[in-house]
Structure 1
């Protein structure tokens, strides 16, 4: 049995690795604090106690502020002088000490003009003119806004983790016939573990049991059960559906596929998008301009206003400074990208950085590998042609002989034929190199292989065999040609829809590159209505094709899954890898990993990128629009510090809600 080329020389294109995979470490995470306009974010993932304690100073400050305002309102005689200053001063220190500390630290390092500096001089100025309550309120509501941001980020992070962090806390280890319950972190590679029906798999392993069905939704998003057979890889996070099975552990706890994915998602926002970098650069120009405008607003009216009162114009300048704080931008933009990464994760897509959410919106050309990307990457029987025998009898005889071969094409025939072949007696099996198999099955002499096998034994066959594009298995019985079976890689169910959706999104060029023979590649391209297709390519040929497209000014996304796709994935503007069955090399070099192995997710990734960008720019427009309006009112004395505080906090809060909304959108 063979292709229409040498039987043993048949190559499987785009080889796959099914061993546990490692995800690429995202780039260096941006440092918070000194170079940021907002205080460092509370990281305590899983530290609920610490998170709750961080609210205590805020609550105490709020109580003292309300107490002070009430005593002022009722004009209590004894609430004055140093006592009044002490109450408001303690309230200020509780919420403002960290901001002041950051301002002083940054000034010492030469980084003067940032939000810490703005907040400090505005609030201390408010104390200077006796507006204690307003000075405290600026810091208090600023910190409350920070708590809202932290809560939104924590919620987003938890929702992402809930999608994929399915790691159980204990596992049953089988040793010397005894089962013991052990923490997965303490299980070594090579040990045997048992997985009960309904139990989640804690560690990657190789199936030792004959077979079982697994729910793989945590890893691939697919609800359809996946049957794993002896020798196949089972990944952590899958749920055993059928029977008690045994696995041989192939990866440590922290090296499991699920752990790598979880780490990748949690660190994905480490790479700043260009919009985020733009805001950082913008703040360095924006802040000093605002500070000097505020100084001018306080001092210049002395030369133009007859009834100049320094305290009045200083107050206006302080309002101007408070309004100018770019907190809404600093909060909402990173949160917008984090929301995009979360939305992508919900849809089975892992972006390795927020910069790729921006880059994917600029893509105008999508280049795809064939095997494993647009097709299943597994040989399947496509057509069975028989002359005289019944089809089932023909398949049983052929499968009985093919069962003696370990070749993938032989396995495809055996899998397609059912179990009838198991009842047939096979004798005198002879493998003829480069041709196929010869043997006796149920008393009949069978020849199963390529056309050269029949030619070798002077058996005539139908001319249509020479014209067949797919891999073909020719069968002769008792010296007479009886029929043939065509074997081909099956197109994925959603491949046609994927190509159409890309066209609808404005992708003007779609290209398919493959190492498979060109006749097969062109046939698949025709079925999928792909613009251009090239077959018979080596890895360096694929690189050359993508380089050619980039020289034409195209923004290229390449999607692949095999080891030979790694170089071109790296070269592309956006490299995408099929993550469920793809090779380590492809996944490590990719910028975006498609966990479901569905080509339709390419279009989904572009949609999420565009929606993320839209929401980020909505937040930028909202922040600048409201600030510009209130700045004008503040300069003319219409807006007080209270309006400034609520405007800044309100804009930040709306921006947060807008960013979180991204995770609720269905793509």
Structure 2
């Protein structure tokens, strides 16, 4: 009911003006009144004009004080006041009335788009339950502090980011990722604001303040996304600043120049034509509907779990010729399992594995989780010193005073560790290890291809978008994944700097190129791509900061959806531009020739603006999946 009252409040000035206009037209043509003449008639229409005209005139004056004389408000003001000046009072009221209604609808469309995004993302409760000793109390979520322990009942939403203290709990994460399948979290796992507890009471320790949660940052990101304007949007704004004064001078020319060339020149007739010209030429439909089109595209993407950092990236993604993808975490699950363990003679396998497990625990790579799952919990007696990460190769440390190396065979080569292994015959990802300068053995790990990867490749191919896969994984693994998915271009055994060089060559050959990666390791390539797309952005703060587009879950199928939304947004924006210009030019010509009325001008301005806004809004209701 409150929402309906707000809508009526928005339309109240228009309703008052409309009723007075209808009564005035009735007094003029249906049931004439003796008193409705002269100054009383003028006063009636002037009062009818004020509710809708006064805000526009105030806005025009405010723009003039800021140095922006030729605003749309100025155009509407002089056009309608001019109509009063030549005695066309009903038309003056009608033009401003319909303009005002159009502005209300446009404002409502923008508010609806923003509200939809906010409702979609800001799923946090206002109140949370905090445990203090043996008691619980409810406080404002914004008042909770880092370290507080929250009690989360079944069906409740988590208000802040935190660490799960309970042994296990299932959460609905759809508000964050768009993924309907519940996620089961183990003790120590990160849980995020907006997740819904599903089965039993859970305890969560707060790890980030209310305003620092990932959900807050993403919400701010989307709401501020229009700060980075698309080229089309920037062009229209610049165009309007040049176009509007030209139109005013042309209207003056239409009014006065015919005096020197027309024998039966009638000032009122030519002023009326000039006023029609002014009303038609008002660029409000373009200036408002185009940003709304881009905002609608950002909103549609958000509904699909895709976050654009600016409308310019919608345009860029619409023109992408090639998508370059990382393998692990993008096309594959990044959930590894140890397949085979091989030790060289003379090494105690159990001891070496515990060393490897301890060193890999210092890494965030998914391989570390696979090794831990295979070996078990860390051995508390294993102490590592001088731990060092070698980018793209592995880890180095000192264990019991001796050098320990864990990584790929490039790491073995770097430290001149000799081995008698034909690595070309090993298909799976290989983790080699050396101890005290001697090759100790290796283990193999395999990853599984995501269920939607095949569909992603097929859909990109159907859109005539090329695909290249780059990976630091060994070439045999990359080849096996590429062949299974039908990707013709692929490169493996790439260090971060190799990826950058390879990407530069692809970009030089293919035109506009997007890069899809799953974290901070891909930042150098994301930095030089036309559009950087981050997979699983909720898992990495750095990803949210560096990427242009963030896919909230790890679903690769969102990549073609993001491209489609970019293409559809651009299509709608250009439809609005073509439609608005076409109608306006036609009515401008008719108005200058005296063949169009003020009512035609109203349609060409307000009607076109409304249709353009409705066209822009419809993208939010399209299905792209």
1:222-245, CA deviations, whole angstroms, 9 ceiling, x for partnerless residues? 111111001110111111112111
Q: Distance in 2 between matches of 1:472 and 1:617?
A: 51
1:76 Cα shift? 1.5
Q: 2:267 aligns with which of 303, 310, 319?
A: 310
For 1:55, the equivalent position in structure 2 comes to: 11
1:421-468, CA deviations, whole angstroms, 9 ceiling, x for partnerless residues? 99xxxx9x999999xxxxxxxxxxxxxxx99xxxxxxxxxxx999832
Q: Distance in 2 between matches of 1:384 and 1:496?
A: 30
For 2:459, the equivalent position in structure 1 comes to: 501
1:179-234, CA deviations, whole angstroms, 9 ceiling, x for partnerless residues? 11111111001110111112111111101111111111111111111110011101
Residue 322 in structure 1 maps to residue 275 in structure 2: no
Q: Secondary structure at the match of 2:36?
A: coil
1:30-55, CA deviations, whole angstroms, 9 ceiling, x for partnerless residues? xxxxxxxxxxxxxxxx9997775443
1:285 Cα shift? 3.0
TM-score (norm 2): 0.83
For 2:187, the equivalent position in structure 1 comes to: 230
Q: Secondary structure at the match of 1:377?
A: coil
Change (3 A) 1:128 1:223: same
For 1:268, the equivalent position in structure 2 comes to: 225
Q: Distance in 1 between matches of 2:460 and 2:293?
A: 24
For 1:641, the equivalent position in structure 2 comes to: 598
Q: 1:91 aligns with which of 40, 44, 48?
A: 48
Q: 2:428 aligns with which of 439, 460, 470?
A: 470
For 2:100, the equivalent position in structure 1 comes to: 143
TM-score (norm 1): 0.78
Where structure 1 has 5 or more consecutive residues not aligned to the other structure, the ranges are 1-45, 386-397, 435-449, 452-462, 475-483
Residue 587 in structure 1 maps to residue 549 in structure 2: no
Q: Distance in 2 between matches of 1:301 and 1:133?
A: 27
Q: 1:294 aligns with which of 248, 251, 257?
A: 251
1:499 Cα shift? 1.9
Change (3 A) 1:533 1:71: same
**Which protein, 1 or 2, shows the higher relative CO under an 8 Å CA cutoff with sep ≥ 6?**
1
1:339-354 aligned at under 5 Å gives the runs: 339-354=296-311
Residue 70 in structure 1 maps to residue 49 in structure 2: no
For 2:436, the equivalent position in structure 1 comes to: none
Deviating more after overlay: 171-180 vs 536-545: 536-545
Deviating more after overlay: 408-417 vs 87-96: 408-417
1:13-41, CA deviations, whole angstroms, 9 ceiling, x for partnerless residues? xxxxxxxxxxxxxxxxxxxxxxxxxxxxx
For 2:448, the equivalent position in structure 1 comes to: 490
Structure 1 vs Structure 2 CA RMSD: 3.4
1:104-145, CA deviations, whole angstroms, 9 ceiling, x for partnerless residues? 343444433332222122111111101112112111111110
1:422-571 aligned at under 5 Å gives the runs: 467-471=425-429, 486-508=444-466, 510-552=467-509, 554-571=511-528
1:558 Cα shift? 1.0
Q: 1:169 aligns with which of 122, 126, 133?
A: 126
1:178 Cα shift? 1.1
Change (3 A) 1:570 1:119: same
Q: Distance in 2 between matches of 1:348 and 1:134?
A: 48
Q: Distance in 1 between matches of 2:423 and 2:244?
A: 76
Deviating more after overlay: 350-359 vs 70-79: 70-79
Q: Secondary structure at the match of 1:501?
A: helix
Q: 2:569 aligns with which of 592, 612, 619?
A: 612
Any conservation in 2 of the 1:403–1:411 contact (CA below 8 Å)?
A: no
Any conservation in 2 of the 1:403–1:414 contact (CA below 8 Å)?
A: no
How many aligned residue pairs are there? Answer: 568
For 2:58, the equivalent position in structure 1 comes to: 101
Change (3 A) 1:131 1:403: same
Q: Secondary structure at the match of 1:55?
A: helix
1:343-395, CA deviations, whole angstroms, 9 ceiling, x for partnerless residues? 1111110111111110111111212222222222221256899xxxxxxxxxx
1:310 Cα shift? 1.1
1:522 Cα shift? 3.1
Change (3 A) 1:383 1:625: farther
Deviating more after overlay: 595-604 vs 155-164: 155-164
Any conservation in 2 of the 1:207–1:234 contact (CA below 8 Å)?
A: yes
1:116-127 aligned at under 5 Å gives the runs: 116-127=73-84
1:274 Cα shift? 1.0
Runs of 4+ in 1 over 6 A off after TM superposition: 46-51, 401-404, 429-434, 463-466
1:519 Cα shift? 3.4
